[in-house]
């Protein structure tokens, strides 16, 4: 960082950056060609929301520091010796000691402005890991010292020679890759297009998009251009090699996306970068689409011709997907025929609610009639619908859509939810804005819940993304003393309660399942909006969620076995 006096301001450039909005390097001429930030406010905003902020800058043999308290500088930027600098930043100095230049930032977020100052270490580690993939040969060293019980304070280091090519292989870690990764990195119309592609043996798509290293969860023109190039290239190759048979004449976009893992990264000049929305979830530069489409199409055409075995594996996957799509369409037309979502055609097992506004309606997906009975009796009939489904459902991680649609249990659930499935999915037709999975608080219940979540994550992803999916948390125990009672969610809460109330004569009852509760108990513990505990299912990191579902529910046994062995001590087994 520059530390000299800034002409026209009579203060150090460092202090200007720390205290004045829109004064970062990206507003100068040529300081940044590519940057993820748009406004140049990052450091000044963090400083404004911190109780203290200490900055250290090394440039050659010169060391300078400045300290801030409640965003106000304690002193001017001052020169210090190497020893004084080391004393100010004892843990970080070793990382700068052998470098020509660099900066160190120490800050503590202020409780006066923020709801919590606790860092989400997992989130930060995942972001740094992505940055390391996106910029090959850049090293990140992360050391988490926030946990006082973690005496070893392990250091995590990320460094990847292969960049996004390695990233794509990592995303397929627990899946069987069908081809050696396709990779291209070219510049077109002053836009750098970098893409890596590898198919796997699963039925889901996992494409991550980035613009100037900022993740765009909602995609944008770069995603559109990539998908168009992929579909055109694979169709051209299959037609040229006469690979379409049995009435097939082309692949749809869905056909070529089954089992697809890809990373699409573009880099634009900072002053031209545009996003839709403040969260930067969607890229807004329309000129990116033709650049990505041209670069990827040309490179992928060459890749398919030069790698015939890989091409054969990919096309075979696409052909199977196309046939499954046709089978799924036929099954869907039978199951979700015209009028199937009308009230008169709702499944007989469904005890619907009276309210017609989806925003006010809840659907409880309940394990079996033994729990469905009390749930129907205890519910608020105006807003709460109950759908009892028996036993364990199909593991949709290992099944195509045509098989899923033919499953009786999913047929009932799809119809009840009302939004359709696959290419007919339409969130506007959703009949309930809360889909609540209510299973027993034991191992079997957890397994059933995971099976439903797998289905919703893979085939109704938008429900999860928009925050419509919840898990009910029924209590495992009921504590009774005298005329008093208290419901306890799990073993840990029970132990805390018993320790805190050891002078009382407390009787503990363990519920074996939801069906063991009467309707009043089920209402006051699990269904009453005033007191119940619901967990909203979110996708904070889609690639991590994909990896977890693949590991837990996929074909590969060893990753699951290793996970179980590593976490066995944490499991609360209901034996």
Catalytic residues: 367, 440, 442, 444
Question: CB-based contacts of 206: which residues, under 8 Å, 6+ apart?
Answer: 171, 260, 261, 262, 542, 543, 546
Closest Cα to residue 398, out of 555, 225, 223, 221?
A: 555
**CA 422 remoteness from chain centre:** 20
Enter the tokens of residue 481.
């003393």
Residue 122 has a CB neighbour count (10 Å cut-off) of 12
Rounded (5°) CA angle 423-217-32: 145
| CA-derived radius of gyration, the chain | 28
Residue 413 burial (10 A CB sphere; 0-12, 13-18, 19+): buried
What string of DSSP letters covers 297-329? HHHHHHHHHH-HHHHHHHHHHHHHHHHHHHHHH
Question: CB-based contacts of 225: which residues, under 8 Å, 6+ apart?
Answer: 288, 289, 290, 291, 292, 293, 296
Residue 296 has a CB neighbour count (10 Å cut-off) of 28
E strand or H helix that includes residue 437: strand 434-438
d(CA 147, CA 98): 29
Question: CB-based contacts of 436: which residues, under 8 Å, 6+ apart?
Answer: 362, 363, 364, 365, 470, 471, 472, 534
Instruction: Give the orientation angle of helix 164-171 with respect to helix 121-134, to 10 degrees.
Output: 130
93 neighbors 85 (Cβ within 8 angstroms): yes
Dihedral angle, C-alpha 156, 157, 163, 168, nearest 10 °: -20
Percentages (nearest 5) of helix, strand, coil residues in the chain: 40, 20, 40
Question: CB-based contacts of 565: which residues, under 8 Å, 6+ apart?
Answer: none
Question: CB-based contacts of 197: which residues, under 8 Å, 6+ apart?
Answer: 168, 181, 182, 183, 230, 260, 261, 262, 300
E strand or H helix that includes residue 194: strand 191-199
């Amino acid at each position: 960082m520059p530390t000299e006096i800034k002409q026209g301001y009579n203060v150090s450039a460092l202090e200007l950056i720390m205290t004045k909005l829109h004064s970062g390097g990206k507003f100068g001429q040529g300081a940044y060609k590519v940057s993820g930030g748009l406004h140049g406010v990052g450091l000044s905003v963090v400083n404004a929301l911190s109780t203290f902020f200490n900055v250290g800058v090394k440039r050659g043999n010169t060391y300078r520091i400045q300290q801030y308290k409640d965003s106000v500088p304690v002193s001017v930027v001052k020169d210090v010796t190497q020893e004084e600098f080391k004393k100010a930043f004892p843990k970080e100095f070793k990382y700068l000691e052998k470098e020509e230049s660099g900066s160190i930032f120490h800050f503590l977020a202020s409780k006066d402005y923020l709801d919590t100052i606790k860092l989400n270490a997992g989130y930060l580690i995942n972001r740094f890991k992505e940055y390391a993939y996106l910029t090959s040969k850049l090293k990140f060293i992360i050391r988490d010292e926030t946990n006082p019980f973690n005496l070893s304070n392990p250091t995590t280091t990320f460094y990847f020679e292969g960049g996004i090519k390695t990233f794509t292989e990592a995303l397929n870690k627990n899946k069987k890759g069908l081809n050696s990764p396709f990779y291209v990195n070219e510049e077109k119309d002053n836009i750098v297009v970098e893409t890596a592609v590898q198919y796997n043996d699963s039925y889901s798509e996992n494409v991550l998009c980035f613009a100037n290293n900022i993740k765009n969860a909602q995609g944008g023109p770069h995603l559109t251009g990539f998908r168009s190039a992929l579909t055109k290239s694979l169709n051209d190759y299959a037609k040229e090699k006469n690979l379409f048979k049995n009435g097939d004449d082309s692949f749809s976009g869905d056909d070529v996306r089954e089992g697809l893992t890809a990373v699409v990264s573009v880099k634009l000049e900072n002053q031209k970068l545009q996003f839709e929305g403040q969260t930067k979830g969607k890229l807004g530069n329309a000129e990116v689409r033709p650049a990505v489409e041209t670069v990827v199409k040309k490179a992928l055409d060459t890749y398919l011709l030069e790698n015939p075995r890989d091409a054969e594996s990919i096309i075979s996957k696409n052909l199977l997907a196309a046939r499954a799509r046709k089978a799924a369409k036929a099954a869907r037309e039978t199951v979700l025929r015209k009028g199937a979502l009308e009230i008169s055609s709702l499944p007989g097992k469904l005890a619907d609610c009276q309210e017609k506004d989806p925003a006010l309606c809840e659907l409880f997906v309940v394990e079996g009639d033994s729990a469905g009975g009390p749930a129907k009796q205890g519910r608020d009939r105006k807003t709460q619908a109950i759908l009892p489904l028996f036993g364990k459902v199909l593991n949709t991680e290992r099944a195509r859509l045509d098989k899923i649609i033919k499953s009786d249990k999913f047929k009932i659930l799809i119809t009840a939810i009302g939004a359709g499935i696959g290419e007919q999915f339409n969130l506007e037709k959703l009949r309930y804005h809360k889909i609540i999975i209510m299973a027993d608080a034991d191992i079997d219940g957890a397994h059933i819940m995971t099976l439903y979540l797998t289905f919703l994550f893979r085939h109704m992803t938008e429900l999860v993304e928009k925050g419509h999916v919840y898990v009910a948390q029924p209590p495992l125990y009921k504590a009774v003393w005298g005329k008093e009672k208290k419901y306890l969610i799990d073993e840990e809460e029970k132990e805390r309660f018993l320790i805190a109330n050891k002078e009382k004569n407390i009787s503990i009852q363990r519920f074996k399942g939801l069906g063991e509760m009467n309707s009043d108990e089920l209402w006051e513990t699990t269904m009453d909006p005033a007191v119940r505990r619901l967990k909203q299912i979110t996708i904070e990191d889609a690639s991590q969620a994909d990896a977890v579902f693949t590991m837990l529910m996929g074909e590969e046994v060893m990753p699951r076995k290793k996970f179980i062995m590593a976490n066995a001590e944490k499991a609360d087994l209901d034996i």
